[in-house]
Structure 1
Amino acid sequence: MPDDRKSDLHATNSKFQYCANRTADWAWRYPDENCVTSKSEAEAAIYDALRDETDDLHANLVQKAIKRATDDIGNCVDRLADGENTSKPHYDTFSIVYDKRAATYYRDKVSLATVNGRVECKYDLPDDPEGTPHGEYLLNEDYSFSTSTVHYDSKTDEFYLHAVMEREIDANSPEKAEDSRVLGVDCNVDDHIAVTSTGRFVGNADYLNHQRREFEKRRASLQQTGTRSGHLTYHRIGDRFGRWSQDYLHQCSNEIVAESHRHNCTHIAFEDLKQIRERISDDKKFQQWAFNELQQQTENKAELAGIAVENVEPAYTSQQCSKCGCTLEENRDGQRFACLDCSYSVNADYNAAKNIARKLALKLQRGQKSPAGGAFCQYALKPGVMTVNATDVASDAYVSVERESTGKPTTFSRW
């Protein structure tokens, strides 16, 4: 940061924190009324006033300050509903949120909007960036900048940019199919929320459903009390379950992306949400929301990690044997899959996850430009990988050419 511009950034931070504190003052209404946790509602009410009160502050920074305050108040409301002590958020540290509208990012510097025009700040980079995050992400043209945060260390009088980098993947590009590896994910309404093709069981759908039912019972009971205390508590807890379930699914999506990292996957495959409604018998609206939320969160996290997320047709994934390809309704009995042809026996959801991964592997493979099958796709299994040879597989109805590894991952030669 140029010495003669440090004061500009400090002044910008002061107005940014002012907007956050003003928002908190307006939105915090406990204990007499419901606190406001909606960014759009807060913007509609006080954005114009904040712009007038901070006339030199970039409009986007005002919006980011409002969002920070409403998000924090939402967390406070959750703690109050759990019986914890908390108070109105207050902001007095140096922390400014910038996105591409308030900042222009370059590979060696950043241009930041301040109350006194823009300031260009050069990055302090290592002499040899190879093998460092700077070399892997910052100086890599495959990655672009996302919303980032500027911090200040008063002890050293230094500014830091916490830069979030992202990479866009074109999953439909034929070149992306070459040497790709797919992690299949099967979503469920009972037992585990999701099962991967590597045999990892993620989350607990029964627990999620139980928490939802208990929350609805509590709200119904509070409505029926007819007391002022019950009425206030009813409104105070608001959509606490919605926020809790989002956080729970956030943990599940983190686990799925981490599993894809462990197996060096380039793609994650889900079943197409629009075509699985017939599999959902109870609580359709909630289950469809949970599936969509899990997939969306996984897609957002995977995108930042450079992993593509794709959907495949769900037909027969639960009935087809992932080892020999025999497709019979009788193969599946509840949570157990036992092939009537080859006697392969395994957890039914794990078997389905492998079929989901295989469908995307074949889809990617068919996009190869070389008609001779000059490349192959893999999808992650426990403990190895499965390879499908594009030259031999004409459809996904029969899978005798597949080989499931039972030892260490095999090194395959290109045909």
Structure 2
Amino acid sequence: MVTDKQDLNAATYDDVRENTGLHSDHVQSARSLAADPLSNCQNRLFDGGNASEPTFRGTVVVYGTRTITYNDDHCTIATVDGRIRAEYITPEDSEGTPFEEYWECNEWERKEATLHKRDGEYYLHIAVEKEPATDASTVENGAVLGVDLNVDGYLAVTSTGAFLGNADYLNHKRDEYERRRGRLQQTGTRSAHLTIQSLGDTFARWSEDYLHRVSKAIVRESRRHDCPATAFENLENIRKRISNALKFQQWAFRTILEYTEYKAEEDGILVDTVQPAYTSQRCSHGKCGFTHEDNRDGDEFECLKCGKQLHADYNAARNIGWRLVQYWLKSGAGRANCRVALKSGMLNANGEFTSATSRGQSGSPLTSQPL
């Protein structure tokens, strides 16, 4: 099974180009589209699972900067019959819509697009991008927001005490989709096959929207506490920690991180990852730092040394933020004044706590934000 994109390009490019007349960029996009699911199939087979050959409906076309040109009221796109002109259909009143925020604002640059066909209509999904307000790589001081991701309970918990999303609900929706798909697969009719495709598209759109809202809430929490940096667990370690049966959760974690990265970049917020070892067992209270597996019992955390009681995921989020501050200090990155943002103040790398009240701010309570 060939999954490497360069190998696939060498083996298929000339034949596909000759047989289809596609633009070279479209041939490369098709190759990339095939490589990712092939790699996923290979991983499942190596893990002892089953995998069927991926199939594609061909209703999505990827357009890069060489195959699409944007104008104010139309674009020109490359096709097998040469370039064609396509007029935009936009709202007459764009106030309060994404068109006002992204399309009509010169700060946003139009980048790659995907062309979708639904019920005989064509929709162009355009990615827009703008230069960050500040250079995130130069973050030297300020607060770090720690974020703990979970396979059950709350999907994401921050070091400032925000409980975001519902992992159980996300998993329930996934299980519900899998059950319906399984029943339809047993039917085996063409109608059932079309319904499976429709269900898959619907679930994909719903889950991506849900994860978008979680990532947006994380960035909003960073802004609210003036955090120029946000810390997550290293995803490679998450994949080793949770079982192979939880591939969906791994995808969800990766997607939240990716969505948070590009949303945070707009505000000049750096997103970084840390090694997660013992973040759920370590006491995050002040200078304690006592680490023991019996400190945690489900959602409850009680330090066996100092007696501090916290929600276990909230404690882990504080440790994740603290771990990034520690890493910066040890690596000589020049961020000596960085601190971890907590719900009631700031904790520096030496374990010294400064309350929000003493800094002239009011602490925020532990909050669960519905999505």
TM-score range (shorter-chain normalised) is: 0.5 to 0.7
CA distance in 1, matches of 2:224, 2:356: 17
Q: Once the two structures are aligned, what percentage of the paired residues are identical?
A: 45
344, 347, 352: which is aligned to 1:383? 344
The structural deviation recorded for 1:246 is: 1.2
Q: Give the aligned partner of residue 130 of structure 1.
A: none
Kindly indicate whether the alpha-carbon contact (under 8 Å) linking 2:232 and 2:274 is maintained by their aligned counterparts in 1. yes
CA distance in 1, matches of 2:61, 2:197: 18
How big is the alpha-carbon RMSD for the aligned residues of Structure 1 and Structure 2?
3.4
Q: Find the counterpart in structure 1 of residue 22 from structure 2.
A: none
SS at match of 1:166: coil
> How far, CA to CA, are the matches of 1:65 and 1:346 in structure 2?
45
| Structure 1 portions without partners, runs of 5+ | 1-33, 55-63, 77-86, 100-145, 148-163, 394-400
Normalised by the length of structure 2, the TM-score is 0.64
C-alpha contact (below 8 Å) 1:181/1:361 kept by paired residues: no
- Asked if the contact 1:195–1:201 (Cα under 8 Å) also holds between the matched residues in 2, the reply is yes
Residues 194, 52 of structure 1: CA spacing in aligned structure 2 closer, same or farther, 3 A cutoff?
Answer: closer
The runs of 4+ residues in structure 1 deviating greater than 4 Å are: 367-370
Deviation, structure 1 residue 35:
6.6
Q: What secondary structure, in the 3-state scheme, does the structure 1 residue paired with 2:132 have? A: strand
Which residue, 139, 144, 155 being the options, matches 1:193? 155
Structure 2 CA distance for aligned equivalents of residues 283 and 246 of structure 1: 20
Structure-2 change in CA distance of 1:238 and 1:66 (3 Å):
farther
User: Aligned in 2, Cα 1:264/1:218: closer, same or farther, shift over 3 Å?
Assistant: same
**Residue 354 (structure 1) aligned with residue 354 (structure 2):** no
Match status 1:297 vs 2:259: yes
Q: Which has the higher contact order (CA 8 A, sep 6+)?
A: 2
Give CA deviations for 1:17-76 in whole Å, capped at 9, x if unaligned.
xxxxxxxxxxxxxxxxx9744224998xx934353445xxxxxxxxx8993542xx4xx5
Give how far 1:184 is off. 0.2
Q: Separation in 1 of the partners of 2:333 and 2:310?
A: 36
Mapping 1:6-405, distance limit 5 Å: 36-40=58-62, 47-49=78-80, 51-53=82-84, 67=113, 69-70=115-116, 73=117, 87-89=119-121, 147=129, 164-167=130-133, 169-171=135-137, 176-177=139-140, 179-281=141-243, 283-323=245-285, 324-368=288-332, 375-388=336-349, 393=350, 401-403=351-353, 405=355
How many residues are paired up? 271
Structure number, greater radius of gyration: 1
Change (3 A) 1:343 1:65: closer
Aligned partners of 2:125 and 2:173: how far apart in 1?
Answer: 37
TM-score (norm 1): 0.58
Unaligned runs of 5+ in 2: 1-55, 68-76, 86-109, 362-371
2: distance between equivalents of 1:187 and 1:294?
Answer: 9
